[in-house]
């Protein structure tokens, strides 16, 4: 029996705005797996700033963007969003792991 690590998907999100310009409401149109993260490493990301730093370190986000993105947990994904309009950019899909 092998002791394989559980791996979570990192998704790039394509979404469209179904709300008003001044009150966006984003619907995920499509998403693509662009990477993965071990469950153990994911569980060590204890706050939003650590999640953002992970995405910067892995090359998904550019250094210095910390103030322009925010993080939300939708109870299935940790979603990294544009802080200005809350458009989803990336997600770590953790739902199936629990």
Per-residue burial over 61-81, b if 16 or more Cβ lie within 10 Å, else e, is beeeeeeebbbeeeeebbbbb
CA 25 to chain centre: 17
Q: Is residue 2 part of a domain?
A: no
Containing domain of residue 40, as a range?
12-97
What confidence tier does 21 reach under pLDDT thresholds 50, 70, 90?
Answer: confident
Q: Total domain count for the chain?
A: 1
The angle at the Cα of 67, spanning 42 to 33, to the nearest 5 degrees, equals 40
More confident: 58 or 24 = 58
Predicted structure pTM score: 0.89
Q: Is residue 48 part of a domain?
A: yes
The pLDDT score that the predictor gives to residue 19 is 84
The pLDDT score that the predictor gives to residue 77 is 97
Asked if residue 2 has pLDDT above 60, the reply is no
Q: Is residue 52 part of a domain?
A: yes
Q: Is residue 55 part of a domain?
A: yes
Q: Is residue 67 part of a domain?
A: yes
Digit-coded pLDDT (tens) for 27-82: 999 999 999 999 999 999 999 999 999 999 999 999 999 999 999 999 999 999 99
The pLDDT score that the predictor gives to residue 3 is 57
Q: Is residue 92 part of a domain?
A: yes
Q: Are 17 and 24 in contact (CB under 8 A)?
A: yes
Q: Is residue 4 part of a domain?
A: no
Cβ neighbours for 71, distance < 8 A, ≥ 6 positions apart: 48, 51, 52, 78, 79, 80, 81
């Amino acid at each position: 029996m092998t002791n394989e690590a559980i791996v979570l998907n990192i998704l790039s999100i394509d979404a469209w705005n179904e709300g008003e310009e001044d009150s966006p409401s984003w619907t995920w149109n499509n998403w693509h797996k662009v990477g993965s993260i071990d469950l153990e490493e994911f569980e060590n990301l204890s706050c939003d700033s650590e999640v953002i730093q992970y995405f910067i370190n892995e090359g998904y986000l550019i250094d210095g963007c910390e103030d322009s993105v925010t993080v939300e947990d939708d109870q299935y994904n940790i979603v990294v969003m544009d802080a200005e309009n809350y458009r989803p950019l990336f997600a770590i899909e953790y739902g199936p792991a629990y």
